[in-house]
Structure 1
Amino acid sequence: MRVIVLGAGVVGITTAYYLARDGQQVTLVDRNQGAALEASYANGGQLSYSYVVPLADPGVWTKLAPWLLSPASPVRFRPQLDPQQWRWCLRFLAACTSARSAETTRHLLRLGHASRRLMRELLVQQPALDFGYANSGKLVVYRDTAALNGARRQVDFQSRSGGDPECRQQVLDGAACVAIEPALDRIRREIVGGVHTPSEDSADCYRFSVGLLDRIRIASPALCCLFDTEIHRLRVRRSEIVGIDTSRGRLEADAYVLATGTDSARLTRPLGLSLPIYPLKGYSLTAPIADPGAVPTLSVTDFQRKMVYARIDGRLRVAGIADITGYDRAIDPRRMATLVAEARALFPGAVDYRQVEGWAGLRPATPSGRPILGRTAYDKLWLNVGHGALGFTLSLASGRAVADLIGGRPPWVSLDGFTLPGVAP
């Protein structure tokens, strides 16, 4: 079967990997000059299989005013003359309830735990894949008691929800947090506690994507990669996709997988298919480590600041911020300055701040925080979109499930909660 995968980020590449493994003839199409050059390029580097609390939770209501009023807020909203933005924001606020957040968490945990099992399998099957992987464990630190109490309730909820027995989470006091991660000693008096999850990983998403694509090329010489190729529109006849119009002309196949991130809504809108996806602009910096003893070995999340820190080989990756400001990919110097200031405050001598590499990317987010996977109402068109900040984390399970469906098999992991309304998986 000929399958065209639209989008060569981590989600598109993992989909292509499982399709090629099934013997499908795969073509990857992407507008960039190479793979994983947008949201997958320099993300936070965390594989958070068990820490999947959606941004849309009841706590948003108390944070809304500070987020909107502070220029240094971790979440910033800049109104656009774009009904899609306002529609997304209203649906996001509607999802900020205890019931919706709990439901989303249960679904994301299922997909996250499936991805962890597939990552362990992939590491065995592809020992030459070099992407800075480490089973580092993750520590989420809290600076106020109310937030820590909320985290404790979340851990209790997740333990009652069942799932992967490999996932063990422990709520720690401030002293215990510093004991397991001494690099946090500078803010020991500010930390009231944290959640430690030993089973979480860290890695370089870009290197993973490019390396996995190389493995596909070796195993499947028929793989075709069409980079520097703009995707103009999906061609439809009656209820069937019959081709893709691109800057290289029309492309045709037996199946089409949409994995184009924030561009997905634009491509499906002319079909009458409204995907609730909008970009949340995130930032990161990467800098060489100057003092290994001053850099965390655990993957660390500062909950209040919405900042993440991950050691990837000899570099520190610092990422965060969610700007709801449209489709502009330019780096805002003020937001980069916020990242540098936060990193310096926690780890002042840890890295060489003269060699900071800055990055900004658009995370394709749904209001609830759940990706959209599986069939559409159009024959031959499949979706693997809307992963938000969890694209790297959920990519393996998402790609495997979509490849299973295209191959005529039940998905390896249930897609309950991830499909379009009214469309069976």
Structure 2
Amino acid sequence: MEICVVGAGIVGLSSAWFLHKAGHHVTVIDRAGGPGMGASAANGAQLSYSYVQPLADPSLLPGIAKLLLERNGPLKFSPQWNVEQWRWCVEFLAACRTSVSRQTTVELLALAHESRLALDEFISQEQVQCDFARSGKLVLYPDAQSLRKASEQVQFQAGKGARQQKIVGPEQAVSIEPALEGYKKAFHGAIHTDSECAVDGRKLCEELARLLSEQGVRFLFDSEVSGFQRERGSITALQIHHAIEGPGLLGAQAVVLAAGAYSAGLLSAFGVRMPVYPLKGYSITLPITDSMNAPTVSVTDMRRKTVFARIGDRLRVAGMVELCGLDASIPAKRIEQLKTSTQALFGLKANAVDCQPWTGWRPATPTGRPILAVSGCDNLYVNCGQGALGMTLAFGSAQRLVRLIDGTAS
């Protein structure tokens, strides 16, 4: 089939990769000027295959008011004149139940396992240069209560296919990652998983786009989908507006919406609601000039709700969750928070020139489950809603999408 994939982030490009491998003729369309320039550009860089517990969890509820009231807290809610924001929030709170959280965890562990195998095979076979590393991961917990809750989750996941996770004290954590020596008094314990990985999402997207282009896949960048032509319940063409060439039509036998935070708006043209909302996050990327203090293991600090990942000769630092619509501003105080966290954990300082401040929108569903479905039309498919796990789940989601399109989904 002639299939148009809308979105050239990691979800769209991995979808294009497996669709092409399945024998389809693929065109990738993106509003940006190149691959991986949206949420994939500078995300947290961690591939968290064993850490897929959704944000919607009952453990969040007791402290949510405190998080929202903290002046510089990691969670921020900016009320909008937008019914969809409030509806998503209500659905999110309704999903904060143990039964829902655990069922979602089980489903995401299976998807993450499938994704791990697919990405490992891709990197091994194609020999792509994307700063991929099997670095392992440490998640630091500030007190006994939070570590106990995390230990319960580890025990639950152990019977559901999660890779081995070990509970360690501060001394053992420092032996695993010596760069944490100066921070060991600030956390009570940690969970270590030596099989977790890290990757530069932007580089991975660029490598995917390069390989796809070499194999004949067509790319239309600087092109925004402005509408659809339909006939007898199916899409026959996309209305495209190119930044320079202007409007045009692109014929298609099937369409995949993988445009991240923009997917819900495109789907609304069919009168179909997709419960996906953009969760804004921030990152900085620092050149590593002091290898003694820079971590090699990926680290997540639950006190500061901040993640750290080594990608080549750089350190990616990311965090925050803001519900504020498609706001692309980067407040200086948010970047200062990331810089402060980096100095607190590792003693590394960053100046304004070096830190490469960035913001992006994680397209999230209330439950944390991605959407892989036929929606709106007979030949319109959706691959969206992976939230903060976009890099982790992309390859598995793409394989399931192809099975859905080809009629082999179980």
- Kindly provide the CA deviation profile for residues 58-104 of structure 1, in whole angstroms up to 9, marking residues without a partner as x: 12112211121112111100101111100011111111111111111
Cα 1:341/1:389, change in 2 over 3 Å: same
Cα 1:70/1:280, change in 2 over 3 Å: same
Residue 377 (structure 1) shift: 5.0
Identify the residue that residue 421 of structure 1 maps to in structure 2.
Answer: none
Q: Does 1:336 align with 2:330?
A: no
Kindly tell me the number of residue pairs found equivalent between the two proteins.
405
Identify the residue that residue 32 of structure 1 maps to in structure 2.
Answer: 32
Taking the aligned partners of 1:131 and 1:69, their CA distance within structure 2 comes to 39
Identify the residue that residue 59 of structure 1 maps to in structure 2.
Answer: 59
Residue 227 (structure 1) shift: 0.4
- Kindly provide the CA deviation profile for residues 116-168 of structure 1, in whole angstroms up to 9, marking residues without a partner as x: 111221122112x000000001110100111101100000000122x26xx11
Taking the aligned partners of 1:332 and 1:349, their CA distance within structure 2 comes to 21
Contact 1:290 1:349 in 2 (8 A): no
Tell me the C-alpha RMSD between the 2 structures: 1.4
Contact 2:77 2:324 in 1 (8 A): yes
Contact 1:295 1:350 in 2 (8 A): no
Q: Does 1:239 align with 2:233?
A: yes
- Per mean C-alpha deviation after superposition, the further-off stretch among 278-287 and 59-68 is 59-68
Identify the residue that residue 104 of structure 2 maps to in structure 1.
Answer: 104
Amino acid at match of 1:294: N
Identify the residue that residue 422 of structure 1 maps to in structure 2.
Answer: none
Amino acid at match of 1:240: S
Identify the residue that residue 277 of structure 2 maps to in structure 1.
Answer: 278
Amino acid at match of 1:389: A
Identity score, percent: 42
1:250-269 matches, within 5 Å, as: 250-269=249-268
Contact 1:290 1:352 in 2 (8 A): no
Taking the aligned partners of 1:227 and 1:246, their CA distance within structure 2 comes to 11
Identify the residue that residue 222 of structure 2 maps to in structure 1.
Answer: 228
Taking the aligned partners of 2:255 and 2:131, their CA distance within structure 1 comes to 32
Contact 2:32 2:221 in 1 (8 A): yes
Residue 304 (structure 1) shift: 2.3
1:307-346 matches, within 5 Å, as: 307-346=306-345
Taking the aligned partners of 1:234 and 1:201, their CA distance within structure 2 comes to 39
Contact 1:376 1:383 in 2 (8 A): yes
Taking the aligned partners of 1:401 and 1:335, their CA distance within structure 2 comes to 37
Amino acid at match of 2:165: Q
Residue 354 (structure 1) shift: 4.9
- Per mean C-alpha deviation after superposition, the further-off stretch among 262-271 and 108-117 is 262-271
Identify the residue that residue 389 of structure 1 maps to in structure 2.
Answer: 388
Contact 1:130 1:211 in 2 (8 A): yes
Residue 306 (structure 1) shift: 1.2
Taking the aligned partners of 1:153 and 1:327, their CA distance within structure 2 comes to 36
Taking the aligned partners of 1:285 and 1:335, their CA distance within structure 2 comes to 10
Identify the residue that residue 146 of structure 1 maps to in structure 2.
Answer: 145
Taking the aligned partners of 1:366 and 1:406, their CA distance within structure 2 comes to 22
1:339-378 matches, within 5 Å, as: 339-349=338-348, 354-378=353-377
Contact 2:342 2:348 in 1 (8 A): no
Taking the aligned partners of 1:341 and 1:157, their CA distance within structure 2 comes to 34
Cα 1:368/1:106, change in 2 over 3 Å: same
Identify the residue that residue 419 of structure 1 maps to in structure 2.
Answer: none
1:116-135 matches, within 5 Å, as: 116-127=116-127, 129-135=128-134
Identify the residue that residue 420 of structure 1 maps to in structure 2.
Answer: none
Taking the aligned partners of 2:230 and 2:280, their CA distance within structure 1 comes to 32
TM-score of the pair, normalised by structure 2: 0.96
3-state SS in 2 of match to 1:293 = coil
Residue 270 (structure 1) shift: 2.5
Contact 1:131 1:203 in 2 (8 A): yes
Taking the aligned partners of 1:32 and 1:132, their CA distance within structure 2 comes to 23
- Kindly provide the CA deviation profile for residues 213-264 of structure 1, in whole angstroms up to 9, marking residues without a partner as x: 111122x22x110000111123333432222112131222111100011111
1:406-417 matches, within 5 Å, as: 406-410=405-409
Q: Does 1:197 align with 2:188?
A: no
Amino acid at match of 2:7: G
Taking the aligned partners of 1:354 and 1:227, their CA distance within structure 2 comes to 29
Cα 1:14/1:401, change in 2 over 3 Å: same
Residue 294 (structure 1) shift: 0.5
Q: Does 1:305 align with 2:301?
A: no
Taking the aligned partners of 1:187 and 1:48, their CA distance within structure 2 comes to 23
3-state SS in 2 of match to 1:59 = helix
Contact 2:213 2:219 in 1 (8 A): no
Contact 2:138 2:192 in 1 (8 A): yes
Contact 1:292 1:350 in 2 (8 A): no
Contact 2:135 2:296 in 1 (8 A): yes
Identify the residue that residue 244 of structure 2 maps to in structure 1.
Answer: none
TM-score of the pair, normalised by structure 1: 0.93
Residue 352 (structure 1) shift: 6.5
Residue 208 (structure 1) shift: 0.3
Residue 34 (structure 1) shift: 0.7
Residue 350 (structure 1) shift: 6.5
Taking the aligned partners of 1:43 and 1:200, their CA distance within structure 2 comes to 16
3-state SS in 1 of match to 2:195 = coil
Contact 1:291 1:350 in 2 (8 A): no
Residue 266 (structure 1) shift: 0.8
Taking the aligned partners of 1:404 and 1:326, their CA distance within structure 2 comes to 33
In structure 2, list runs of 5 or more residues that go unmatched. Answer: 242-246
- Kindly provide the CA deviation profile for residues 265-286 of structure 1, in whole angstroms up to 9, marking residues without a partner as x: 1111131210001110000000
